[in-house]
Every structure is written in C-alpha cells, then in structure tokens.
Structure 1
C-alpha cells in the first residue's frame, strides 16, 4: 500500500461535476475513496442512488481518450454484458474536462465488492471465483464481437498488442518507443534494445505468427478479482474498469487474466519465488473460459505462449506514465526492472516453467 498519487475528490469538486450531468441528482455525501494509484475515484450518495465519479489527469486521459473506452462499454452494454451504466451530459458526452482534469460518471454497479480491500493483481479467494471469472471473460469476449473500432490513440496506461504480434518485434518496439517521448527519454542511455531483444529471443521465439492467427478483438486487458463485482452465488455480477482496454485478441486477454490473478507477484523476491504461482487457480480460470467457449483450444494454447511476455507493453506504458506524467523516476525504474524483467524472468525459473506446463496440460472443473 502507498500514499495515493492523486488527491482525493472533494465534495465541492464532485458537486461541480454532477451539475454537468442532468440525470445525476442531488448529492448527499461522498461515501468512499478508491485507493487505486492511477486515478482518483469516489462513491457518491445521491437522492437518485449511488454514483461512481472518476477523475483523471488530462495527460493520462483526455475526453477523447475516455470516449474510446466508453464506446466499447456502450457496445458491451448493448450486447447484454454486465457493465456499469454511463451517465451523459446535456450535450450527450460521457466525459467532461474541468481545469487539468477529465471526469467520468457512472451508476453504482450491482454486486458485492469482495476484493475492495485487497491489492490489485492478487489471487482469487477461491477456485470457484477463478472458474466464474473465466466464464465471465468468455462471455465478455462474445459480447465484444462486432466492435470494430481501431486501436486506441497513443496515451499512457493502455495494455496494447503491437510488439508481440509484429513480424519484426524490435522494429515494432522502436516505433512504440518513438511515439512516446517521455519513455524514449527515460530509456536513453540504457541498453534497452539489447535487453529486450534478448528477452524476446528467449521467451518470444515463434510467437508472432501464432498471435497473428488470432482474430483481433477489443478486450478488457485488466482482468483481475478487484475489477469484478460478485453475486451471492459466487458468480460475476458486474465487470468494472475498462481503462486499459484496447484492440488486441482474446488470447491476450486470457493470458492477462491468468498473469494478474494466478501468480502472487507481490511476493516475488521475498524468498519463496518457487511458490508464488498457483497453476490450479490458472486451470480453474481456463476451465471456466472453456465451459463457455469449449472449442477453442488454439486460443488457450496461444494464451499460454503469451503468458511470459503479455505484460511487456503495459510495463512500458507504466514507465511512460511514471516518467512523463508523475515524474517519478524510481517508480519507472521499478516498472522496468521488477515488473517488466522480473516477471518475465520468473517464467524462465523451474517454478515458472512448471507453471506454464500445468497451464498447457489441461483444465480443472
């Protein structure tokens, strides 16, 4: 846990934003402030029910950047997916800019927030939750069919799929870095091309043509327990937080879900690296996915191949954020060494290799 980067939303600030949304209703109180690090959010009690107000630094998300995400959420809602209901201003927009901030407002979603007080990217409480999350992910992928928007514009904190799918990953990486001046400046003077080329040669050999065979699809890209709300019977009732969403493929999303929920990354380097992976939880998640999409074993095999490198582009996007928006060079270095390389290199360890073998071998449930 760390002190939040962004100041908490104040009652006066919230009231000023709600005044832009005719359906918001009269504010009564702020009930809760999110501890998430990349933005600020608060749960608001109004006469018409609960609302969630989220605020971004405009260098992270401007109105156009939020609109990309919201068009995807609207498509999912129209297809029957359990996503939050977005509120709109009098002129029909779903996000507003006030000063240095961008705001978005949605109805409080239904379901129990069972993982609210747990750090992000930590494991499911039960294997049944993992299985339910896999089912929900497969259903979300079905709902996403037909949403044919292009990939998102260049902006921090988006989990894209451009490098790993490229025939020449290093050329794609050069383009990725060049499009992000803050990232390029931070990498300058470091042997970043040599280190990443070595990583791709070790873990990504033959990966690009396999990924290229996967149909492109807009995906969630941040599938972990605290982005899900739960029903009394242990099912997923609402899917939250599409801030990292982009056009990738279903295998990329499934690999991300495994990577962020079946490995206890906060314990990496604490003396028990051989025990941080939970292949049974990963198998339960995959089994849930396959119970909805039973015929697509090639998708699951691609997800397993992607696992060791699936986080790389988001790690680079984090560095872009820390170096260019927050000005926190220590956090950028942590993202580079511990997140990007530390996570990838764990998969080269005997424990990491065993984890991948179990994921590839079959399913539970």
Structure 2
C-alpha cells in the first residue's frame, strides 16, 4: 500500500510515507476513457499531502481538474454521491462550492478495482494555506470573520436540504454520540457493525476514559442540544478547505471544497468544529501545550452572527459543545487506522491525543479561558 516516493503529512505534522500510492499516469489514462473533462494529454502537476486518500491536480490540455482516489473500503461511489448531492444543492443556492465533474454516463464517482474516483473542477481562487499543515489557525481576524460569514451562508442554504444520515462512519464527522442521552450505550450497540473500532477499544479502558474525560462535558449540554435542528454541515471548515481572492485582511472566499466529512449534524456543531479547527494551534505549543487564539474564535463567531442570528443561549451551548465536538470523528479515525490501514500506533494518537487529549485540554486553564471568552460573547 505504501509508495515510498509519495510523502504526506503525518499526525505530528511530520513528513511520512503515504498509506496510499500516488495517482499514476496509468490511472489517468484509464480515467480519460470515462471522463470528458480529461480529454487530451493529462499529467499530474501536484500531489496532495493529505493522508486519508490520494489526490492530484491534473493538467489536461488547457484545463486543470482535481482527481481524488479513495480505497473502496473507505468510500464507494454511492457514498461519494451523498456528498455530491449536498454540494449540488449548495451550488443551486448560489454558494461558491467546487464543481463536481461527471463521467460520460452521468455518474459523479466511479469504481475500478479496489479504488473509487471523483473529479472536481479546479477551484476559483488561491489556496492561501496550501503550504500550512492541517490544524493551522487562520492568520487574520478579517479572514476569520469572512470564514464565519460564509459558513453562515452555507447553513442558510442547507436549511432546505433534507437527506438521510451518511451510510458510513469512516472519516465522517457525525454527532450521533453527542446527541445521544447515553453515548456509551449507543457506542456499545454500534461496535457490532464497526469491527475495527471494536478491536481497538477492546484493548482500552474506554468506558472509564469516556466517563472521566468526555461525559462530564456531555451531561451538561445534551438536553439543550436536543432542541437544535438537524442540519447538514460541512463539518471540516478550516483554512485548508477554502480558496481566496486577494490577500491579507481584504481576502474573500471564492471556493469551498472538501465535503468529505459532511453529514446531518447541526449549525452549532459545524460552527464549533470551525472554531476547533481554526482558533486552536493544537500542534504548535510544544511542552506548553496547545495555544488558543481567542481573537480568531471571536471573529469567526462575529462573522457568523452578521449573517445568521444566534441567541445568547445558543452561543453558550456553542461554547459547551466545543470540548466534545470531535468525539464521533475521532472514533471514526480510530476505526480507519485500526481497521483499514492497520496502524495501531496512529489509532493510539487518535484515541489518546485527539479524542481524550482535546477534551482534557478544555479543562485546563487556557482551555477554560477560551470557553470563558465565548460565553462572554453571548
């Protein structure tokens, strides 16, 4: 599975060998026979460093497009179509979302051997954060306000979209456990259908760990969260998934992409995820721990509220949701590392550092200080 010439970003922002081989010229030649957008000579200009799939920016004649390949155990064509239908809805509502390209038969994704492929048009704008590792906070409060306002526009459009829950847990940011009155009982029921996750958790004192770290936050918000309407969200709203026009404080968002984590959650879940992704430098604090950027968090919230109103009670709930908003997705990462790539070491990072560690950080002095700032903004 490993292609030694293709390197990706590791969980500690290190440079590691990819789990999935880079997209090859042979694959591009095969895809040319199925996608009209790939007519002509095709060559890969750039390979994405993101680790969960393989992707490349491809030059094909005068056009460029983005080719993304998933292992079929992670995404089937039907699973990708769930994302693509949401993108189409947002596009119809006038949102600047990336354009999904279709095969000759009209399909938005196709399967071949062990792989599933999807194509997108090259997004309009500049990737200001292309060379920044994941979890890098937004560098400018004006950009944070713009990001918050655009996320609110997505939610206004998503209010008219109704589709079932995603058909997979793998690498999807769901909120099933967060909304459940008894997350431990729900997770126990789910494990029968999630063997990779079950295998990993069988080696952990996972019930005790969740009782200590997650459930104290959960019990304080679950009844209030039940009143929040279900709403499809992007669920991975961070700087690396946005393209921009202009530079610095004047930059505006021109393209939204990467809906791989999208699912029916809630507006507050999506906004809390945006704050978690963009306002906390999880990997930069060294021995002192993560660094919170309260100004970025407040700017995201302010930009959002300029477009879509939030009550004081909702802002308080937003702050209370933040320490556990990552719960379902962290478990999906564990399931992926244990059951798909066979990397228990990475699963350990997802369990101890991500799931438990992030929740623990919010109980620390800097974590509580960030929550206090958000509560004050209500």
Normalization by structure 2: what TM-score? Answer: 0.92
> Which secondary structure state, in structure 1, belongs to the residue aligned with residue 268 of structure 2?
helix
Equivalent pair of 1:87/1:105 in contact (CA under 8 Å): yes
Out of 82, 95, 110, the position equivalent to 1:68 is 82
What is the rounded CA distance, in whole Å, between the counterparts of 2:163 and 2:62 in structure 1? Answer: 33
Superposed CA deviations along residues 295-351 of structure 1, whole A, max 9, x for unmatched, are 444433322111000011111000000000000010001110011111110000111
The aligned counterpart of 1:358 is: 373
State the partner residue of 2:300: 285
Alpha-carbon deviations, 1:56-100, whole Å to 9, x = none?
Answer: 011110111111111111111111111111111122110011111
> Which residue in the other structure is 2:334 paired with?
319
Task: Classify the secondary structure of the residue corresponding to 1:14.
Answer: helix
The reply on whether 1:182 has 2:196 as its aligned counterpart is yes
Give RMSD over aligned pairs: 1.4
Judging changes above 3 Å, is the alpha-carbon distance between structure 1 residues 214 and 116 closer, same or farther for their aligned structure 2 residues? same
CA deviations over 1:158-199 (Å, ceiling 9, x no partner)? 110101111222222223333311100111132111211222
CA deviation map 1:182-222 (0-9, x unaligned): 10011113211121122233222231111111110111111
2:320 aligned with 1:305, yes or no?
Answer: yes
Map 1:163-242; keep pairs closer than 5 Å. 163-232=177-246, 233-242=250-259
1:2 aligns with 2:37: no
Say yes or no: does 1:92 pair with 2:92: no
Match of 2:8? none
Alignment deviations for residues 119-157 of structure 1 (CA, whole Å, 9 cap, x no partner):
111111211111111011001111112211011012410
Q: Distance in 2 between matches of 1:142 and 1:18?
A: 37
Rate the CA distance shift 1:348–1:50 in 2: closer, same or farther, 3 A: same
Alpha-carbon separation, structure 2, partners of 1:282 and 1:215: 23
Provide the rounded CA distance (Å) in 1 between the counterparts of 2:197 and 2:129: 32
Check conservation: 2:196, 2:338, Cα contact below 8 A.
yes
- Out of 343, 358, 361, which is 2:358 matched to? 343
Cα distance in 1 for partners of 2:268, 2:317 equals 6
Q: Secondary structure at the match of 2:178?
A: coil
* Cα separation, partners in 2 of 1:242 and 1:205, compared to 1, 3 Å: same
Q: Deviation of residue 34 (structure 1)?
A: 0.4
Report if the CA contact (8 A) 1:24-1:48 is conserved. Answer: no
Whether the 8 Å contact between 1:147 and 1:218 is mirrored in structure 2 is yes
1:150–1:247 CA contact under 8 A, matched in 2: yes
Question: Which runs of 5 or more residues in structure 1 are unaligned?
Answer: none
Q: Is the 8 A contact 2:31 2:38 kept in 1?
A: no
How far is 1:48 from its partner? 4.4
Moved more, 232-241 or 108-117: 232-241
> Is contact 1:163-1:313 (8 Å) kept?
yes
- Give the whole-Å Cα distance in 1 for the aligned partners of 2:313 and 2:34: 47
Output the CA distance in 2 between the equivalents of 1:231 and 1:346: 35
TM-score (norm 1): 0.95
> How many residues end up aligned between the 2 structures?
361
Contact 2:315 2:377 in 1 (8 A): no
What is residue 11 of structure 2 aligned with on the other side?
A: none
Deviation larger for 187-196 or 58-67? 187-196
SS at 2:128's partner residue? coil
